[in-house]
């Protein structure tokens, strides 16, 4: 007997969660099945809509000025500009005060741990005081045991990039941490619980004291994104009180605390909306019941037992080459679950170019959707009438070069969720 739902989403990253929330918002019964950790926990926590054009022009000030110019087949062209705006509004409603950037269409320039500035549309509130367009002199603080963030170097890069403020960087000891293999969560939890670091002083006061020795005329202090996991606002507020200046976080590479916090907010929203989440198990197969153009049920591998799940509508949100939603072997590139068509050159030496930072064909590998986001076969016909695809599994865009990953996942997830829900029972 198959487990029944109206809409079944496969994949629990930003795209899948958005699709599930949007479908549940329409009153349908939704299930999300996800296998391994998504890129949410690895990504910076920033939501990029469009930082650079496909030709590399940018940084873009207002992404909405460029969306209409994108080539046919780009996911934003498939869903349309209004859908991008609606999806961002939907995201703002879901995450509330945890994020900023919704007050304008313009990208914000956010300092990164490498000392570059990144154009992004939505950023954690913890990062807001560090936006590079604000002409506030800045002290960046790094920790000896966290070599991923070289504060003096990052500050020098910011100045070299022409930031409208003075930036200085210092490297200090993080109170209570001696080893350089401590997880970012260890820093965060020391601050969350204000654990004593020397028998009397709490971690927050100890950190503030260590920083205040270096503070000169700066009006804001930037730290690597480790300022609390469960109580980030409180940690930041206490540091601001103690230092008397604004405090912000600089997004880091994986593992990313802002990414983990975003995942927590999104999964709490799934629970609130009554979405059934089945995690840690893969969808391994599907069946059609007499109509090859319509998915009847999918098979979930639960520790070796094949469990059938039936839904009216299905959403493929399995990610790109990173999430294994798109796979490659010597013979070709393919979508492993439904075998949807993935256009690519016959010769695998044409899948890449020698210049690592060049325009890489593989970065755009993925399924080709129609304007309903249904994957198309080689004859431009929908592979299945009740299957849509979203996020990283889609082709036609290079999210790393364009800085468009989160925006595409939100927009296509939102559209697919809404449309799938409206189609239930048709």
Ligand X SMILES: Cc1cc2nc3c(=O)[nH]c(=O)nc-3n(C[C@H](O)[C@H](O)[C@H](O)COP(=O)(O)OP(=O)(O)OC[C@H]3O[C@@H](n4cnc5c(N)ncnc54)[C@H](O)[C@@H]3O)c2cc1C
Sign of the four-CA dihedral 246, 251, 252, 256: positive
Backbone φ and ψ of 179, nearest 5°: -95, 145
SS3 at position 421: helix
**Cβ distance to ligand X smaller for residue 42 or 348:** 42
| 39 is a site residue for ligand X (CB under 6 A) | yes
- Whether residue 424 contacts residue 312, with contact meaning beta carbons closer than 8 Å, is answered with yes
CB of 394 to ligand X, least distance (A): 8
Burial grade of 320 (CB within 10 A; 0-12, 13-18, 19 or more): buried
Site map (CB under 6 A) of ligand X, residues 382-421, x = contact: ---------xx------x-----xx--x------------
- Whether residue 408 contacts residue 75, with contact meaning beta carbons closer than 8 Å, is answered with yes
Rg of the chain on CA atoms, in Å = 23
| CA distance readout (Å), 165 to 121, 160, 287 | 22, 11, 60
CA angle 236, 238, 244 (to 5 degrees): 95
Site map (CB under 6 A) of ligand X, residues 262-301, x = contact: --------------------xx------------------
With contacts defined by CB under 6 A, name the span among 45-53, 151-159, 226-234, 414-422 that binds ligand X. 45-53
**Cβ distance to ligand X smaller for residue 224 or 406:** 406
d(CA 28, CA 42): 30
| 127 is a site residue for ligand X (CB under 6 A) | no
Q: What does the H/E/C string look like for 270-319?
A: HHHCCCEEEECCCEEEEECCCCCCCCCEEEEEECCEEEEEECCEEEECCC
With contacts defined by CB under 6 A, name the span among 95-103, 146-154, 322-330, 340-348 that binds ligand X. 322-330
CB of 179 to ligand X, least distance (A): 24
With contacts defined by CB under 6 A, name the span among 8-16, 70-78, 125-133, 150-158 that binds ligand X. 8-16
Q: Judged by CB under 6 A, which of 322, 345, 371, 422 binds ligand X? A: 322
Q: Judged by CB under 6 A, which of 5, 6, 9, 12 binds ligand X? A: 12
CB of 274 to ligand X, least distance (A): 20
Q: Judged by CB under 6 A, which of 2, 3, 26, 42 binds ligand X? A: 42
Q: Which two tokens stand for residue 227?
A: 């300022």
d(CA 274, CA 151): 43
| 373 is a site residue for ligand X (CB under 6 A) | no
Q: Judged by CB under 6 A, which of 9, 15, 22, 50 binds ligand X? A: 15
Interface positions, 73-112, toward ligand X (CB under 6 A): none
d(CA 197, CA 195): 6
Dihedral angle computed from the Cα positions of residues 24, 28, 31 and 37, in that order, rounded to the nearest 10 degrees = -20
With contacts defined by CB under 6 A, name the span among 70-78, 95-103, 187-195, 312-320 that binds ligand X. 312-320
**Cβ distance to ligand X smaller for residue 325 or 369:** 325
Contact set with ligand X (CB under 6 A): 10-16, 33-36, 38-40, 42-44, 46-48, 254, 282-283, 317-319, 322-325, 337, 391-392, 399, 405-406, 409
């Amino acid at each position: 007997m198959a487990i029944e739902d109206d809409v079944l989403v496969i994949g629990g990253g930003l795209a899948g969660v958005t699709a599930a929330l949007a479908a549940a918002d329409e009153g349908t019964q939704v299930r999300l099945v996800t296998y391994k950790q998504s890129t949410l926990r690895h990504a910076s926590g920033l939501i990029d809509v469009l930082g650079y054009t496909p030709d590399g022009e940018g940084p873009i000030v207002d992404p909405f000025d460029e969306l209409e110019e994108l080539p046919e087949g780009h996911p934003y062209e498939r869903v349309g500009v209004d859908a991008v705006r609606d999806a961002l509004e939907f995201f703002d409603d879901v995450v509330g005060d945890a994020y900023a950037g919704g007050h304008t269409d313009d990208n914000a320039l956010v300092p990164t741990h490498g000392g570059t500035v990144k154009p992004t549309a939505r950023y954690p509130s913890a990062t807001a005081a560090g936006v590079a367009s604000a002409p506030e002199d800045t002290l960046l603080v790094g920790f000896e045991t966290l070599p991923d963030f070289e504060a003096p170097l990052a500050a020098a890069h910011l100045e070299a990039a022409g930031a409208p403020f003075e930036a200085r960087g210092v490297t200090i000891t993080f109170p209570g941490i001696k080893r350089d293999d401590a997880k970012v969560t260890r820093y965060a939890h020391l601050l969350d619980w204000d654990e004593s670091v020397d028998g009397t002083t709490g971690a927050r006061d100890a950190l503030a004291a260590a920083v205040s020795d270096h503070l000169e005329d700066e009006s804001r202090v930037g730290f690597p994104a480790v300022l609390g996991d469960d109580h980030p606002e409180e940690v930041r507020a206490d540091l601001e009180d103690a230092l008397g200046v604004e405090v912000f976080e600089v997004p880091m590479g994986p593992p990313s605390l802002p990414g983990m916090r975003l995942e927590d907010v999104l999964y709490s929203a799934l629970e609130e909306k009554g979405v059934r989440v089945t995690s840690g198990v893969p969808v391994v197969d599907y069946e059609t019941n007499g109509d090859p153009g319509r998915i009847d049920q999918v098979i979930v591998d639960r520790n070796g037992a094949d469990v059938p799940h039936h839904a009216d509508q299905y959403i493929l949100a399995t990610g790109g080459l990173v999430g294994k939603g798109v796979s490659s072997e010597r013979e070709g590139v393919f979508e492993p679950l439904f075998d949807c068509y993935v256009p690519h050159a016959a010769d695998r030496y044409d899948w890449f170019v020698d210049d690592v930072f060049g325009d890489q064909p593989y970065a755009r590998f993925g399924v080709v959707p129609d304007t309903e986001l249904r994957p198309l076969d080689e004859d431009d016909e929908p592979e299945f009438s009740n299957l849509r695809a979203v996020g990283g599994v889609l082709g036609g865009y290079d999210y790393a070069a364009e800085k468009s990953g989160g925006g595409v996942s939100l927009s296509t997830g939102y559209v697919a969720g809404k449309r799938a829900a409206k189609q239930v029972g048709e």
